[in-house]
Amino acid sequence: MRILQRALTFEDVLMVPRKSSVLPKDVSLKSRLTKNIGLNIPFISAAMD
């Protein structure tokens, strides 16, 4: 079987809380679902262990 594209699972990503200089008003929470469909919702992490 050939790997077509690299993918990540919840075990491959670690989000470490830190202080940030980015202001909330300067952040876009938009996500692209498909080429023609955009979502105005944020990416949300979840504890999956």
Give the mean pLDDT per block of 10 residues along the chain (49 residues). 78 87 87 84 63
Q: Give the per-residue pLDDT at 36.
A: 92
Q: Are 41 and 31 in contact (CB under 8 A)?
A: yes
Instruction: Find, among 42, 23, 24, the residue nearest to 32 by Cα.
Output: 42
Q: Give the per-residue pLDDT at 7.
A: 80
Residue 23 backbone phi and psi in degrees, to 5: -85, 145
Long-range contacts of 3-7 (CB under 8 A, 24+ apart): none
